[in-house]
Amino acid sequence: MGSVRHGIRGATARRSGGRATGVLGAGLRRAGLRGTRLRRTGFGRTGFRRAGALLVVLGLGAGTAGCGTDTGSGTKVTLTVVAANYGDSVHKNSQGYWDRVALAFHAANPGVDVVAKVYPADQVDAKVAALVKQGKAPDIVQTGSYAQYAADGLLYDAEDLLSIRTQASFVPSLADAGKVGHEEYGLPFTASTRLMFYNKTLFRRAGLTPPKTWQQLLVDARVLKAQGVTYPIALPLGPQEAEAETLLWLLAGDGGYTGDTGAYSLDSAANVSTLQWLKSTLVAEGLTGPVAPAKLNLDKALEAFTNGDAAMVDAPLSLMRQIADSADSVSYGTVPLPGRDGRAVPTMGTADWILGFKQRGHRTQIGRFLDFLYRDKYVREQATEYQLLPVTTSVSDAMRANPDYKALWGGLDSLQNMRLYPLSETNWSEVATAIRRRIGAAVAPGGDPRTVLESIEKTARGR
């Protein structure tokens, strides 16, 4: 899956001379109320609903955007969609999901056909890039990145496409993560987070409870090693997906890939301190298992957990599905990776995005289809089928209140305080590659965390 900040996007009236901006401001501007001022009162969700009522009166509510009305031409349009497959040998191929949505949409909109084609998740980015290069960009793409296409001026932004209601429905951290500058080009489609899975059986035998600080985690790992556990805590910093495990630990140590300004800050003092702690404790004491972190890929770490060989591992929520499908019956629990001193820290998250390409000029029809796609029914269906997190607040709140989704509650609770990769940086893929190749050396015997992080920072800054 591809690769989350605060506040309902544009729902508050930012104080720039008091003029309404963002989603609400765009709606007012469309209504010819460009100079409208909003009183600076408690303009949260309740205020937004009240403003939404005004916009409906003005003809700007759900079902309209800069997008969704008929042109009246009667011309039939075919939208092309390229998407990633989340299915596997056990669970449904994503093609069925897109076909169901397309069929239902066409029934309500006879003048628009939707043709979707699904590709393996590790091939979809290359396929889209090839189509764009050939001048054959699809109308809609569901993928893991958006920044370069936005920088090249190829995409519609959210205000071009979506109704005000749909724009306001996104989980705020995800909506913010889809922005380049102040414009939202990446529309969240799915999200996931990483939690620390622990083997309840191994913990019970050792008389342990899930750790809440790094010191408790260290003590627990020592006890588990003494009892013969192969991987007291797996630390997959191998080339497969090291950027995820790294970000988890950096966030837990009060750092991250970017600083307060949003610029890269990989070699910050907090990040250096985190890697030094990992190197001098968990790795130096052999608590991360027989495979060096630099050579341990995520799939092998998850396999060790499902086999009962690992007591703790940071993993995506899809591990729940993997355990359920496994012949081995592992009793597990999930908790956030603890912060250094037990304080709550942001959770690392990932997301996939919907992009609307301008090339074929189908803005109205794309917008209408996306408003349909983001209905609660389809958002919930996508999330529950593949153990992912919903991207809208209404579905998230409903699932959090429903005991049927208790296994996902930990992930749902993390949505509001989630941090994603710096996807708005056009060189993020290059930086991620550098992390995969180099970060394991930072915690290896003889490795120097500061030197490794400084080298990756130079890559990030193009030096």
Nearest to 316 by CA among 418, 201, 224: 418
The average pLDDT across 195-224 equals 98
**Tokens at residue 285, please?**
């004491």
pLDDT at 243 exceeding the cut of 80: yes
- List the single range of 230-234, 351-355, 415-419, 441-445 with lowest mean pLDDT: 415-419
pLDDT at 65 over 70: no
Q: Where are the alpha helices (DSSP H) in 31-145?
A: 45-57, 94-108, 124-133
d(CA 233, CA 196): 10
| pLDDT value, residue 91 | 59
Give yes or no for residue 62 having a pLDDT over 60: no
Average pLDDT over residues 275-281: 98
Q: Please, which pLDDT band fits residue 27 given cuts at 50, 70 and 90?
A: very low
Neighbour-count burial of 108, counting CB atoms closer than 10 A to its CB (0-12 exposed, 13-18 middle, 19+ buried): exposed
What is the mean predicted confidence (pLDDT) over 70-95? 78
Reported as type and span, the H/E element at residue 418 is strand 418-419
Helix (H, G, I), strand (E, B) or coil at 115: strand
What is residue 263's DSSP assignment?
S
What is the Cα–Cα distance from 105 to 102, expressed in whole angstroms? Answer: 5
Distances (CA, A) of 365 to 103, 244, 357: 15, 36, 12
Question: Letter for the amino acid at 142?
Answer: Q
Quote the strand ranges of 71-227, DSSP E.
77-85, 112-120, 140-143, 179-180, 183-184, 187-199
In this prediction, residue 10 has a pLDDT band, given cuts at 50, 70 and 90, of very low
Sort strands 418-419 and 332-335 into parallel, antiparallel or unpaired: unpaired
Per the listing, tokens 């305080």 go with 417
For residue 36, pLDDT over 60 is answered with no
Sign (positive or negative) of CA dihedral 173, 179, 180, 182: negative
Is there a contact between 313 and 234 (Cβ–Cβ < 8 Å)? yes
**Is the model's pLDDT at 209 over the cut of 50?**
yes
Q: How confident is the model at residue 206 (pLDDT cuts 50, 70, 90)?
A: very high
Lowest mean pLDDT among 57-61, 150-154, 336-340: 57-61
Residue 206 phi/psi, 5-degree rounding, is -90, -5
E strand residue ranges, 157-230? 179-180, 183-184, 187-199
pLDDT band (50, 70, 90) for residue 49: very low
Q: What value does the mean pLDDT of the chain take? A: 85
CB 110 within 8 Å of CB 132:
no
Q: Tell me: the pLDDT tens digits for 390-442?
A: 999 999 999 999 999 998 898 999 888 899 999 999 999 999 999 999 999 99
How many other CB atoms sit within 10 Å of the CB of residue 178?
29
Lowest mean pLDDT among 1-15, 223-237, 261-275: 1-15
Pairing state between β 332-335 and 112-120:
unpaired
Query: How many other CB atoms sit within 10 Å of the CB of residue 143?
Result: 23
- The Cα 368–Cα 364 span in angstroms is 6
Task: Read off the pLDDT of each residue in 57-84 and give the average, rounded to a whole number.
Answer: 61
What is the predicted pLDDT for the residue at 386? 86
Residues forming beta bridges with residue 463, ordered by sequence position:
none
pLDDT of residue 74: 60
Percent of the chain with pLDDT over 70: 83
Question: Residue 329: its pLDDT value, please?
Answer: 82
- Whether 274 and 252 have beta carbons less than 8 Å apart is answered as yes
**Where is average pLDDT lowest: 7-21, 79-93, 435-449?**
7-21
So what's the pLDDT on residue 19? 33
Whether 89 shows a pLDDT value over 80: the answer reads: no
The predicted pLDDT at position 34 comes to 33
pTM over 0.85: no
Contacts of 29 (CB under 8 A, 6+ apart): none
pLDDT at 29 over 60: no
Q: Name the residue among 141, 181, 436, 132 with its Cα closest to residue 298.
A: 436
Q: Residue 105 has which token pair?
A: 């949409």
